[in-house]
Chain A
Amino acid sequence: MIVNSSAIVARGLGIRRRRRWILRPTTVEMAYGVVGLAAPAGPARSAVLQTLATLRHASVGELEVLGQDVTRRAGRRAVRARIGLLPARFAWTSGLSTRDFVAYASYYKCTPRRAVDAILERFGLSDAAALEMDMLPQDLRLRAGIAAACAHEPELVFLDEPLAGIGDSEREELIPLLRALAPAVVVTAADPAELSGWCDQGLSMVRGRLVEAPCVPRPRARVPAGV
């Protein structure tokens, strides 16, 4: 049964790799809003994120994403156009400008090329549009990655440890942007403390299982206005 209030519903979802459980069969719901997933960096966390983003098949269990049963091909196909994913240390093309990188993503996201400038504007990249991706500072490169992953204005966005290595001041600017990316945002971090304060629901990976974890909402006053 589809739970309308949840962006993701996993029932007995398990992922195995080389005869070892990466994620033991787990039942969990992820609500709309910002879901923080605390887990150590590594292939296990990436595999969980890829599975939730339909890029990888679950070994066992059922998975509903945005109301679609993604264990079936039709459901996967239908929901992929509504999902965005930005891996940790995401790949880009060396020597490519920010605009070309976003335009490249836009083609696959079926977004018209004329919308690229608006996307760059939305993510504060207008001034950096002509700069090569390699030349961008880390926070701008992250913005470019998010712009590419969210060029199609997805309903659900997965961000794998987006704030790792980002300075405090840039982090303060980015958090509101991340919160506003989509109705549902799943964001990971190695340290649960990095997530507390700005996520609406907290999850942790404990001994190969996803379990609910307390997540203290961030006070509104600390969010810079107008960002």
Chain B
Amino acid sequence: MSDLGRVLRIDARRTALFLAVPALAFLGAVAAWRALLPGVAYWDDAVAALFSSVCLLGPASAGFAAWVALREHRLDYLRGLTARSPALGPLLDLLLLGIVTLCAYTVVAVVVAAKTMIHVEAGHPKPIGPLAGALTLLVYTVLGYLAGRVVPRLPTVPVVAVLTYLWGAVRPGAWADLLPPPGIGHIGLFAALRTELLAGQALWAFGLGTVLVTGYLWALTRHVWLALPAVAAAGVVTGTTLWLHGQQRTPPVVPRAFSYACRQWPLTVCVHPALRAALPSLEAGLTPLATRLSGTPGRFVRVEHRPDNDFPRPGRGVVYIHLGDLSPGYAHRAEQEIDISLLDARTCGDPRHAAGAHYSALVSAWLLDEAPPRITDTVAADDFARWDEQRRRRWLRAHYARYRTCTLRGRDFRVR
């Protein structure tokens, strides 16, 4: 082993780097896992989950780097009084910290990628996303280390961790949300991250990291040539900041081209391909509802999955559902959504039709195979409960208009 290798090994032992990797990786993996949507996986949301992990992993890395700087400061009597460059010690520290941070991040990225690949995935991997996350994480590490070097006091460690956490959690303005790590939350199934935005964020993080490192090296060595990369990096940071500021009016996501995954019989149910696994459950769950509504104006033969912000009016035998994930109960939630879309929200929300709304709720419970609600007109409720399936369907065909507008009356249930 070379002399430098031995020194790096000793520094790694000094700073407990071998313990830091699994600890940081665990923290980041938990944060990323919590950010992933249950039951589905697609690459853009995987990138968003990675950014979520950076929001937690970054402050932890920054605090750890500050602690390492604090410990290394105590060895300045050996490392500072040297014939070698005064930048050598800090550069070796940053190298080790960078390796630790990237190892932990790689573990997180592998966990996220594995989860994405195990489930039905949609979209395509975008390497620029993980790259932007990695560069952002390195900026956190450099910031923490420099803070520890400049103010080598124990309180620096928690202060750095808290301040960097606040940077990820609270942004001063809407446009600053675009700066790394971006607060993009979940990416909807029908949306995709803008690649150019990710590239801008990666460039911004790279520029800031370069400014910090070269600036610190200049403070240590006063080498004039360091001004060149420092100024160039400062230019990159300024340019990308202005560019990101200009992007605030454009949504950070764009609609994603896709083609539906459908199941044709007995109903046609079409969903986003990422939810292909849900087709059998949806088919099984929605067919009884379609059967009960057959012969009424609310009948439907096709179910379409739509983006969260897209609510077309159901009609001509087509109804729409909105599913963000496949968390337990999703098929029933789809049924409920269809049932609600059948009702006239304006009349059903009218207090004058409160009684009618109760009768409609009674019918909806039957349509959705739910337990009937308690209503004041127990006679009507008992009558409806006594009817067999065929009689109820006939009754609904006759009273669908009143059901839809929540204008049912008690006597509507006393039909002989």
The interface of chain A, by Cβ under 8 A from chain B, is 53-55, 73, 77, 80-81, 83-87, 90-91, 93-96, 100, 103-105, 107-110, 113, 148-149, 152
Q: Which residue of B lies closest to A100 (CB)?
A: B10
Q: Tell me how far the C-beta of A66 lies from the nearest C-beta in chain B, rounded to whole angstroms.
A: 12
Q: Tell me how far the C-beta of B7 lies from the nearest C-beta in chain A, rounded to whole angstroms.
A: 5
Contacts A100-B6, A107-B3; A87 near B77 (Cβ below 8 A): yes
Q: Are B76 and A55 in contact (CB under 8 A)?
A: yes
CB neighbours (8 Å) of A87 from chain B are: 77
* 18 residue pairs A–B, Cβ–Cβ below 8 Å: A53-B77, A55-B76, A55-B80, A80-B80, A80-B83, A83-B81, A84-B81, A85-B77, A85-B81, A93-B10, A95-B13, A96-B10, A103-B3, A104-B7, A108-B7, A108-B79, A108-B89, A149-B78
Q: Are A113 and B3 in contact (CB under 8 A)?
A: yes
CA distance A108 to B7 in the complex (A): 9
CB neighbours (8 Å) of A80 from chain B are: 80-83, 86
The one of B13, B14, B88, B222 that contacts A108, using a Cβ cutoff of 8 Å? B88
The one of B6, B86, B88 that contacts A104, using a Cβ cutoff of 8 Å? B6
Q: Are A107 and B7 in contact (CB under 8 A)?
A: yes
Q: Are B6 and A55 in contact (CB under 8 A)?
A: no
Q: Tell me how far the C-beta of B73 lies from the nearest C-beta in chain A, rounded to whole angstroms.
A: 9
CB neighbours (8 Å) of A91 from chain B are: 71, 74-75
CB neighbours (8 Å) of A148 from chain B are: 78
Q: Are A110 and B6 in contact (CB under 8 A)?
A: no
CB neighbours (8 Å) of A108 from chain B are: 7, 78-79, 82, 84, 88-89
Q: Tell me how far the C-beta of A212 lies from the nearest C-beta in chain B, rounded to whole angstroms.
A: 27
Report B55-91 CB contacts with A as 1/0, cut-off 8 Å: 0000000000000000100111111111110101100
CA distance A94 to B16 in the complex (A): 11
CB neighbours (8 Å) of A81 from chain B are: 81-83
B415 at the interface (CB under 8 A from A): no
Q: Tell me how far the C-beta of B25 lies from the nearest C-beta in chain A, rounded to whole angstroms.
A: 23
Q: Are A110 and B83 in contact (CB under 8 A)?
A: yes
B371 at the interface (CB under 8 A from A): no
CA distance A81 to B84 in the complex (A): 8
CA distance A146 to B370 in the complex (A): 82
B4 at the interface (CB under 8 A from A): yes
The one of A54, A93, A104 that contacts B81, using a Cβ cutoff of 8 Å? A54
CB neighbours (8 Å) of A152 from chain B are: 83
